Structure 1
Amino acid sequence: MGAGHAHKLYRHGDSPVHRLPAHVKVVAAFSFVLITVATPREAVWAFGAYALLLTGVAAAAHVPAGFVLRRLVVEVPFVAFAVLLPFVAEGPHTEVLGLSLSESGLWGAWNVLVKGTLGVAASVLLAATTELRALLLGLQRLRMPPLLVQIASFMVRYGDLITDDMRRMRIAREARGFSARGPRHWGVLARTAGALFIRSYERGERVHLAMVSRGYAGTMPVVDEVRATRGQWSYAAALPLAALAVCLLGWTLL
């Protein structure tokens, strides 16, 4: 996969969670999310238990609460969708703070908010304790389609380059007195986007030719094979197993 590539979500550390192999953490986080989604929305206490479990993982990984909370902003579009549900859903209505809201909509909003937040928090913790290169290698070890892994790898590596190109093109426009203030300037922005696309496409061709000249045959070489021990699997399984117990208890108490 080449040299390591740090990402903004990663938090350097040497905790037991950081030292777990990436594919082990991916399986644990994915299992936790599936169990969370399978939990009945009426079992409100269960989601509090899940939050405590994630808090324990964050504490073990030495990841501050503020670090996680700031990155939960990514779910704002889902929050906006959830807020609308009580107003547009059908069925019996109830009064809340003087507003007539749909009961099914309120349950739907709660379901989206709590499960989405827990899922995003689990993903943030996974990213915060796993280097990006290790995460890609972990997906490859889990037999993810190699093409998807390679696409993700190139997106990560060249996303910053494309962002820098966009920034330099914006600076060049502003240096020439351009300022987008309305639809009449959309033509300039469209031509800029087209130039950026062509430049990125040509860079991709050059990169592909360079890779082929170095023996690339459709798969990326794995320079280090990371194997997980039984103890590491057991340590990582503590989160999904505890979540599974909570889920089963939630269904039982309904």
Structure 2
Amino acid sequence: MSGGHAQHLLYHPGDSPVHRLPAQVKIVAALLTVLCVVATPRTEFWAFGAYLVLVVAVGRVAHVPVGHFAKRAFIEVPFVLVAILMPVLGGQAGALAGWNILAKGTLGVLTSLTLAATTTPRDLIVGLQRLRTPAVLTTIATLMLRYLEVIAAEARRMRLARISRGHDPRFLWQVGATARGVGALFVRSYERGERVHLAMLSRGWTGAMPERGVAAGTSTWLAGLTPVLATAAVLGTAVLVP
């Protein structure tokens, strides 16, 4: 599967121990970490600080620069704005609710970005396949990654063709032309998908991607889930210790 530039906006190349872990191990670790964070009572402020230290430590082991996370964390801005408004709208209860959204949202975003920064999109799909994700989902994701760059290139060519014929997207009265271009791109993509599907059937497509990746041994799982064990210990302390 070819990899275009659009597929690696979140990935940071490296050869760290985190990069070398099988994708399925990192996916399970990220999921369990997020579940532990979500299950933590919002009043246990120290626990969220401990979670942040653990996430940052994993990022440092992976040698992913802070700037890589900072540039991609803007997806959280809407949640930050909601968290800021909560104390104004709900008083003390709103302040706790805002803190809950901010703390858990930030940790969830950082965990997801760490997973994406240390695992290529292709390996993520392989990891999901190794975890026995339904074949139809992994197939759709594989084809989406494969042809996302193709469709983006088609959109760029169509935009260039419109501009060369006098189209100026800055003016409001050009919205109709832009909308027709989006419709034409959809039709072309749909027709391309049908042709690709027929070509796959003619080559023996059975409805599922071939098994890829390697199985992770017990020692690999233990190494990959070590941060999760620490996270679970923090959660247990926060919940059980008065």
TM-score between both structures, scaled by the size of structure 2: 0.92
CA deviation profile, 1:209-232 (whole Å, cap 9, x unmatched): 11111110100112x441111111
- Per-residue deviation at 1:202? 0.8
TM-score between both structures, scaled by the size of structure 1: 0.88
Match runs of 1:65-144 below 5 Å: 65-89=66-90, 102-144=91-133
- Number of residues paired by the alignment? 240
Paired residue for 1:179, among 154, 157, 168? 168
- What residue is the counterpart of 2:232 in the other structure? 244
Give the Cα–Cα distance (whole angstroms) in 1 for the partners of residues 113 and 144 of structure 2: 19
- What residue is the counterpart of 2:41 in the other structure? 40
Instruction: Mark the CA change 1:164 to 1:3 in structure 2 (over 3 Å): closer, same or farther.
Output: closer
| Consecutive unaligned residues in structure 1, runs of 5 or more | 90-101
Partner amino acid, structure 1, of 2:25: V
Deviates more, 1:199-208 or 1:62-71: 62-71
Give the Cα–Cα distance (whole angstroms) in 1 for the partners of residues 8 and 45 of structure 2: 34
Deviates more, 1:64-73 or 1:175-184: 175-184
- What residue is the counterpart of 1:95 in the other structure? none
- Per-residue deviation at 1:181? 4.3
- Per-residue deviation at 1:135? 1.1
- Per-residue deviation at 1:189? 1.7
Give the Cα–Cα distance (whole angstroms) in 1 for the partners of residues 3 and 210 of structure 2: 14
Give the Cα–Cα distance (whole angstroms) in 2 for the partners of residues 23 and 233 of structure 1: 9
How big is the alpha-carbon RMSD for the aligned residues of Structure 1 and Structure 2? 1.7
Identity %: 51
Give the Cα–Cα distance (whole angstroms) in 2 for the partners of residues 177 and 83 of structure 1: 45
Instruction: Mark the CA change 1:164 to 1:227 in structure 2 (over 3 Å): closer, same or farther.
Output: same
Per residue, is there more helix in 1 or in 2? Answer: 2
Deviates more, 1:164-173 or 1:133-142: 164-173
- Per-residue deviation at 1:144? 1.0
Deviates more, 1:33-42 or 1:73-82: 73-82
| Consecutive unaligned residues in structure 2, runs of 5 or more | none
Deviates more, 1:107-116 or 1:173-182: 173-182
- What residue is the counterpart of 1:58 in the other structure? 59
> Is the counterpart of residue 190 in structure 1 residue 179 in structure 2?
yes
- Per-residue deviation at 1:88? 3.5
- What residue is the counterpart of 1:170 in the other structure? 159
Give the Cα–Cα distance (whole angstroms) in 2 for the partners of residues 124 and 21 of structure 1: 17
Give the Cα–Cα distance (whole angstroms) in 1 for the partners of residues 148 and 84 of structure 2: 33
Paired residue for 1:228, among 204, 216, 219? 216
